[in-house]
């Protein structure tokens, strides 16, 4: 693996939590813990900018590899990747770290984990910053995968369902190329491949890199996925209908934890599937009454593409909560 610049050097450990070993990267010391949760297809390294920024300002920044990723355990069964599993991992991690509460920052599946940690255990969360993936209501009458059928077989989540399908398609490329295809997709349209084509074949390999990521950064991801594979990360999608079954008791439940939600205005599907209208409308505000919505100029991986702006938004949110708690 490529060596990391000094400002991104972190300490590493493995923590036993909820029946698995979880790899944890950590930087900084201080009374306030910040738990940073990555999404697909990344690792703790996705938060390198925020970890350095927060540690320099007196926070203890902790970024785990979620189950199935990086150096954390990767159970074989998709049934081991439900939301209760993810939340259980985080509860055990917080207990190990010795903190009664934490600020939580999550992107993509990490945001989903943050939303449900805040729903199930609001006593553990001082405040939540969620990126890209909003908290969405469960449809009591329609399973998640059933709702995706109109999008056809080319829809990326549909293609991720059958065990082995996406893994075999990804294997036609080297790991660095796969990471470029997945991380650098910059179209606004929802991610759907043409009929008869696999999503990884549809995605382009950019001839040049954007300024926000380097070849070395991409190689860090590629090296780690070459070690761990993609089955664990893909199993999150394969557990979606099981999540639908398990989450029935929380239909209509509100998340009352103070929250900031950030999303890029060029996120794929942001306008096409109604996400923009949803996060600016009454349903989202009703489910998350204490939410502030921030729309940034950027794409899916906004925490890397607009790293400094995201850092500033996170810090401002933490400071606001700290001031309000003293009133």
- How do residues 178-209 score in pLDDT, each as one tens digit? 999 999 999 888 899 999 999 999 999 999 99
* Alpha-carbon gap, residue 324 to 327, rounded angstroms: 5
Residue 1 covered by a domain: no
Question: What integer pLDDT is reported at residue 9 of this predicted model?
Answer: 86
pLDDT digits (tens, 9 = 90+) for 115-147: 999 999 999 999 999 999 999 888 888 999 999
User: Is 313 a residue whose pLDDT tops 70?
Assistant: yes
Question: What integer pLDDT is reported at residue 314 of this predicted model?
Answer: 98
DSSP three-state, residue 105? strand
**DSSP run (H or E) holding 59:** strand 59-64
- In terms of Cβ atoms closer than 10 Å to its own Cβ (0-12, 13-18, 19+), residue 274 is exposed
pLDDT band at 7 (very low <50, low <70, confident <90, very high): low
Q: Tell me, what CATH number does 64's domain have? A: 3.40.50.1820
Closest C-alpha among 97, 115, 84 to residue 24: 97
Q: Taking the model in full, what pTM does it have?
A: 0.96
Which residue range(s) make up the domain with 118? Answer: 6-325
Question: What integer pLDDT is reported at residue 187 of this predicted model?
Answer: 87
* Alpha-carbon gap, residue 67 to 73, rounded angstroms: 6
Angle 125-26-126 from CA coordinates, rounded to 5°: 10
Residue 141 covered by a domain: yes
Strands 291-296 and 259-264: parallel
Give the other-Cβ count within 10 Å of 156's Cβ.
22
Where is average pLDDT lowest: 156-165, 282-291, 318-327? 318-327
Angle 313-82-285 from CA coordinates, rounded to 5°: 40
* Alpha-carbon gap, residue 140 to 25, rounded angstroms: 38
Place of tokens 């949803």: 278
* Alpha-carbon gap, residue 145 to 176, rounded angstroms: 30
pLDDT digits (tens, 9 = 90+) for 246-299: 999 999 999 999 999 999 999 988 876 788 899 999 999 999 999 999 999 999
Half-sphere exposure of 171 (CA within 13 A, CB side): 8
pLDDT, greater one: 275 or 5: 275
Residue 81 phi, psi (nearest 5): -125, 30
User: Is 36 a residue whose pLDDT tops 90?
Assistant: yes
- Count of domains forming the chain: 1
pLDDT, greater one: 4 or 287: 287
* Alpha-carbon gap, residue 62 to 50, rounded angstroms: 10
pLDDT, greater one: 23 or 136: 23
Residue 194 covered by a domain: yes
Task: List the end-to-end C-alpha distance of the chain, in Å, as a whole number.
Answer: 48
| Long-range pairs of 146-152 with CB within 8 A, sequence gap ≥ 24 | 151/190, 151/192, 152/192, 152/195
Residue 263 covered by a domain: yes
pLDDT digits (tens, 9 = 90+) for 48-93: 999 999 999 999 999 999 999 999 999 999 999 999 999 999 999 9
Question: What integer pLDDT is reported at residue 273 of this predicted model?
Answer: 72
Where is average pLDDT lowest: 170-179, 265-274, 307-316? 265-274
Residue 196 covered by a domain: yes
Residue 78 covered by a domain: yes
State CA 166 to chain mean position distance: 19
């Amino acid at each position: 693996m490529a060596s990391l610049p000094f400002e991104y050097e972190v300490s590493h450990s493995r923590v036993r939590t909820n029946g698995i070993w979880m790899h944890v990267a950590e930087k900084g010391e201080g009374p306030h813990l910040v738990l940073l949760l990555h999404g697909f297809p990344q690792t703790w390294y996705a938060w390198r900018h925020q970890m350095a920024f927060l540690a320099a300002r007196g926070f203890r920044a902790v970024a785990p590899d979620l189950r199935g990723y990086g150096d954390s355990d990767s159970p074989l069964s998709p049934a081991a990747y439900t939301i209760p599993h993810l939340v259980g991992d985080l509860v055990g991690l917080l207990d190990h770290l010795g903190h009664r509460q934490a600020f939580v920052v999550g992107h993509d599946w990490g945001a989903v984990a943050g939303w449900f940690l805040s729903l199930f255990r609001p006593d553990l969360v001082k405040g939540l910053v969620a990126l890209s993936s909003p908290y969405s209501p469960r449809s009591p009458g329609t399973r998640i995968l059933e709702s995706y059928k109109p999008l056809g077989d080319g829809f990326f989540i549909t293609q991720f369902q059958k065990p082995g399908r996406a893994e075999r398609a990804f294997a036609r490329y080297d790991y660095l190329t796969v990471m470029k295809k997945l991380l650098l997709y910059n179209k606004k349209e929802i991610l759907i491949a043409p009929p008869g084509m696999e999503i990884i074949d549809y995605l382009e390999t950019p001839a040049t890199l954007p300024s926000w990521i380097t070849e070395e950064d991409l190689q860090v991801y590629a090296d780690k996925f070459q070690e761990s594979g993609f089955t664990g990360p893909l199993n999150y999608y394969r557990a979606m209908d099981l999540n639908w079954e398990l989450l029935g008791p929380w239909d209509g439940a509100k998340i009352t934890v103070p929250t900031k939600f950030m999303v890029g205005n060029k996120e794929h599907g942001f306008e096409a599937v109604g996400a923009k209208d949803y996060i600016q409308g009454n349903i989202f505000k009703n489910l998350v009454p204490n939410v502030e919505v921030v729309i940034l100029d950027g794409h899916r991986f906004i925490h890397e593409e607009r790293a400094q702006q995201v850092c500033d938004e996170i810090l401002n949110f933490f400071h606001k909560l700290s001031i309000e708690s003293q009133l």
